[in-house]
Structure 1
Amino acid sequence: MTSNEQTVRLAHGNAEVAVDPGNGCRISSITVNGIELLRQGAKYGAFPMVPWCGRIAEGRFRNGGDLHQMPVNSPPHAIHGTGRDTAWTTARADDTSAAFTYELTDPWPYPGRVTQLVELGEDSLTLTMGVEAAADSFPAQAGWHPWFLRNLGAGKDVEIGFRPSWQERRGADHLPTGERIDPLPGPWDDCFGMPDGVDVTLTWPGALELKVTSRAEWVVVYDEQPEAVCVEPQSGPPNGLNTLPRLVTPIDPLEVSTTWTWRSLA
């Protein structure tokens, strides 16, 4: 992946955001009052998951009678889509918002276009992603994988607060089994259903509160690493291209958005 696309920097009030279109159009930095919220590094930040979220079983999915094989980048599965490994194009940018695009191509078997709109408010960041089919219809998903720092450098570790309606039972292969169970205590690498929309609160006691909301009904929470926690709003569950396909057609694109709103607790 090579790109001459430059980092796009947005600023509003005490918040600053950096977007790296050449590295999967990931949000590489969010600072509030000078405090970095995201784990740093080329693989981290907050990246879009598209045209699928989480794992696809053995990297294979069907569209009608056609069976497709995606690269197995997390053996034995394919994980997190192709968008994070793609150089995107900056379509427009100003002080507080920017739009980016990339064309779906190999290894994804169907032509189409993905867009991401990044809008920074005084105390919020809204991300909107769209997936358009150019010709043939295909199943797709979209979502985000942010790596929020577990500790902001002072004080206590982050606390995760949410009330999902169910948890997808996870099999030994890390895929949902299809059984919905009462939510279990963490640590998690699990998908949860929130049919009224994703609503998760991250609290760094004495420092900051950040709410992750979305009209999407699925969220994966991952907190098994010491450095960061992930709260991933997405349009469907892991392996959803096979178990809960949402078809994108030339007249019915997929659109999903999330808003992250913060307030100081200092």
Structure 2
Amino acid sequence: MSNEDITLTAGDAEVVVQPGNGGRIGGLRIGGVELLRQGERFGCFPMVPWCGRIRGGAFRDGGTLHQMPLNSPPHAIHGTARDGAWRVARKAADEAVITYDLVEPWPFTGRVTQAVALTPDALTLTMSVETYASSFPAQIGWHPWFHRNLGGQDVRIAFEPAWQEERGEDHLPTGNRVEPRPGPWDDCFGMPGGVDVTLTWPERLELKVTSPEAWVVVYDEQEAAVCVEPQTGPPNGLNTLPRLVTPLEPLEATTTWSWRRI
């Protein structure tokens, strides 16, 4: 199948999937209102095979040191899959499945599969990384850019994390966990019971971002948009908290955005 944009619909919800642009969600319209910031680098992109920054772009797998390109100097950021074209495996009116084969500069072979499922009041994204060759560390996450304003008051972000990862001057977690601090944020938080963040555009819409994963990065330092990023580990996690993909055990993650009018 081609990698042209795919439009899914359910009720008055519409999602645009862009296999040819890094497997990202290019848009989410509810009742004709676009929730995601538009543009080639925005929407909601998959972060895989790592999330956030890798310190110095380098990570170890056993005794081997691997170096990734420094696409956010002095670090490497947000994986490689958002820079490639994905293939369409299956599509229907309200669902699409797309795949991406990991290639250089990532040093391991593997396949990423992302399923996008839309209902009238929710969008569920599911991603897996699998390999039939050597095992390797990996992470999965999503990086949505939600409009700060939908034509009324600015969005409000509500969540109750158990801790905040202390952020060093290099923007990476120091390894210390601290009491959650007020924003603005470009920070990683721990939610061991599962990610649960509510975005409220007053008198417009309430949207909940949930995931069984225990980590979320919240970024609201930009005027146009806010980001709520569920992921399988913290930034620099390939070094500090690696999750292993093996031929017997893929890495899998899911997030659901559910909404209601207010």
TM-score by length of 1: 0.98
Question: Residue 84 of structure 1 aligns to a residue in which SS?
Answer: helix
Alpha-carbon shift at residue 182 of structure 1 (Å):
0.1
1:95-110 to 2 correspondences below 5 Å: 95-110=93-108
What is the aligned partner in structure 2 of residue 175 from structure 1?
172
Matched, 1:148 2:118: no
Could you tell me how far apart the structure 2 residues matched to 1:107 and 1:5 are? 22
Q: Which runs of 4+ in 1 moved over 6 A?
A: none
Residue number in structure 1 paired with 2:9: 11
Cα shift at 1:155: 1.2
- CA deviations on 1:171-218 (whole Å, 9 max, x unpaired) are 000000000000000000000000000000000000000000000000
| 1:5 shift after superposition | 1.4
Cα pair 1:187 1:222 within 8 Å, conserved: yes
Once the two structures are superposed, the pairs formed by residues 226-245 of structure 1 within 5 Å of their partners are 226-245=223-242
Tell me, in whole angstroms, the C-alpha distance in 1 between the residues paired with 2:253 and 2:224.
28
Deviation digits for residues 211-252 of structure 1, max 9, x if unmatched? 000000000000000000000000000000000011110001
**Partner AA of 1:17 in structure 2:** V
Give yes or no for the alignment of 1:57 onto 2:71: no
Q: 1:260 aligns with which of 241, 257, 262?
A: 257
Residue 134 of structure 1: how far off its partner (Å) = 2.3
Q: Distance in 2 between matches of 1:29 and 1:122?
A: 15
Structure 2 portions without partners, runs of 5+? none
Superposed CA offset, 1:131-157 (max 9, x none) = 0022110000001000000001x2100
Q: Which amino acid aligns with 1:7?
A: D
1:150-165 equivalence runs, <5 A: 150-152=148-150, 154-165=151-162
Unaligned 5+ runs, structure 1:
none
Change beyond 3 A, Cα 1:4–1:90: closer
Hey, what's the Cα distance between the residues in 1 that align with 2:103 and 2:81?
10
2:73 matched to 1:69? no
Relative to the length of structure 2, the TM-score reads: 0.99
C-alpha RMSD of the superposition? 0.9
SS at structure 2 position matched to 1:139: strand
The residue matched to 1:131 in structure 2 has which SS? strand
Q: Which amino acid aligns with 2:66?
A: H
Structure 2 SS opposite 1:58? helix
Which of the residues 248, 251, 259 maps onto 1:251?
248
Q: Give 1:117's match in structure 2, choosing from 103, 112, 115.
A: 115
**2:86–2:99 CA contact under 8 A, matched in 1:** yes
User: In structure 1, what is the Cα distance between the partners aligned to 2:18 and 2:29?
Assistant: 15
- Answer yes or no: is the 8 Å Cα contact 1:113–1:134 preserved in 2: no
Corresponding position of 1:81: 79
Task: Report if aligned partners of 1:188, 1:221 keep a CA contact under 8 Å in 2.
Answer: yes
**Structure 1 letter corresponding to 2:21:** N
Residue in structure 2 matched with residue 42 of structure 1 by the alignment: 40
Shift, 1:4, TM fit: 5.4
Paired residue total = 262
Partner of 2:219: 222
